[in-house]
Chain A
Amino acid sequence: MQRASVSDRTARRARRRGVLYAYRALLLVAVFLLWYALTELAVLPGFFFGRPLVVLQRVWEWFSSGKIYPHLGVTLIETVLAFVIGTLLGVAVGLWLGLNPLAAALLDPYIKAANAMPRVILAPIFAVWFGLGIASKVALGITLVFFIVFFNVFQGVREVSPVVVSSVRMLGASRRQLLRHVYLPSATSWVFSSLHTSVGMAFVGAVVGEYLGSAAGVGYLILQAEGTFDINTVFAGILVLTGFALLLDAVVSATESRLLTWRPRAAAEETL
């Protein structure tokens, strides 16, 4: 009896979710149709707003000819490098300053200043320092990722439960073991809570870097198309970037739920 009602409920929930997905797809189609109608009827000038059919065709051409893959690959490498290096630096500095109140007090105003500065401005400087290749984009991405991870780890170290620290000390842990078995895992959980933001920022760093000067990458494709007033290709590039960002986010979610099994689930299940 009870089992039947439970399976009933799951079935109902699954159906409700199916309906939700259907409506979401419908909304996307509606937006494209509106876009199509407005540009076909010349309410909006196609020269500035593009034509959805041409945009979709361009995307299709990119993928069927395989022309887009090297560019996506470059953007992906830049994103991953910026994310990994920025995270490692953020964790290291966050742990160091979190455990050294004196150093933290000394550096506090400079860190705040560096974080407040709009870092996109650094892109031209990085281009001069590291050239137009991958390195300058990675550097820009790092400056964006570093601060997010740093602040989270710093906070994480300071908010480790003092009872857990005392308890682990009583169990005979040395200073190094305390760092390895208490502070690091605690900081890691904070890094994961900022994972979505920091991967997103690494991606922003890569694309903005490409857009401001490069020889490859999706940002470069968009820059080229803009140079020739090819608005359809610009929109196609934006579409590809959006899809790519969603894919990255899905990968992050999957990794997160695998690595944080020790955490209570409740908060992780929200949609937004």
Chain B
Amino acid sequence: MRRVDAAPMLALDAVTVIWPGRKAGAPGYCAVKDVTFAVEPGEFLSLVGPTGCGKSTLLNVAAGLLPPSSGAVLVGGERLSGINRRAGYLFQADALMPWRSARENVEAGLLFAGAERAEARERAERWLRRVGLGGFGDRYPHQLSGGMRKRVALAQTLILEPHILLMDEPFGALDVQTRHLMENELLELWSAECPSVIFITHDLEEAISLSDRVILLSAGPATRPIGEFRIDLPRPRDVAEIRLTPRFLQVHGEIWRAMRAEVLKAYAASQRLG
């Protein structure tokens, strides 16, 4: 299944991000510190950490939207500068263009790249059908439900066939049933298209049920990886059912014990500050 390649698909090498302080000379806020990890071709990797720990910052660095203060991002072994052209990004918030219909949103990337209108349109229709929205192409985002908007965003990203899929808590705002549905569909699309995925969440169960590998991040400031766990649950998976298997509970218990110390530390830190 996996593409065989010498270099990892995407690697962060000692990435540090420091936000400048308000006044000149004041010490900045160190969001992430010395983060090194890599994702292999076709691998599904989740980053799990407490809220506000700089997970989105890491993803923005990987996307090339935010240059790191120090360290480097390597894409297929080459140093990244500017936007990461091989990556697609699924945002936590709604990122569709509200003035474009669902189809116009999905075909946007193809048209930016100079594709022909008729071909782009046809491929967009095909992708809308693939995410279960055939016949909804003429609706505007405000006429779609939250789950449907996420599907449009997924089609909009995947139509460009990215090698790397960056996902920032994309299903955080959905209700549990819709969320499980979307997660299963994501796994299906992933196994068909085989991109490397970096999936960010604070929900450990979500991370385990989706991923090949889970990296735990420490509480901020100066977030860094504190643990790495390989998830050897069999595929294909059903995200709702797999949560009931003994192996899942065993893995979950193991990671949770490691994470609890971090959660407590973050809580203690917030108490000291408060």
Contact = CB atoms under 8 A, between A and B. Distances in A.
A264 B89 CA distance: 26
Interface size class of B (residues with CB under 8 A): 20 to 34
Contacts of B140: 261-262
B99 A170 contact: no
SS class, residues of chain A in contact with chain B: helix
Contacts of B85: 172
B208 to A, nearest CB: 27
Contacts of A22: none
B109 A262 contact: no
Interface string B55-94: 0000010010100000000000000000111011101011
Interface in B166-209: none
B98 A262 contact: yes
B108 A170 contact: no
Contacts of A173: 108, 112
A157 to B, nearest CB: 14
Interface residues of A, number: 23
Nearest to B92: A163
Given A171-B112, A177-B112, 9 more contacts: A167-B89, A169-B83, A170-B65, A170-B83, A171-B157, A172-B113, A173-B112, A262-B140, A262-B141
23 contacts: A161-B95, A163-B91, A164-B95, A164-B96, A164-B97, A166-B60, A166-B89, A166-B95, A167-B91, A170-B65, A170-B83, A170-B157, A171-B108, A171-B109, A171-B156, A172-B85, A172-B113, A174-B112, A181-B112, A182-B97, A185-B97, A263-B142, A264-B142
Interface of B: 60, 63, 65, 83-85, 87-89, 91, 93-101, 108-109, 112-113, 140-142, 153, 156-157, 160
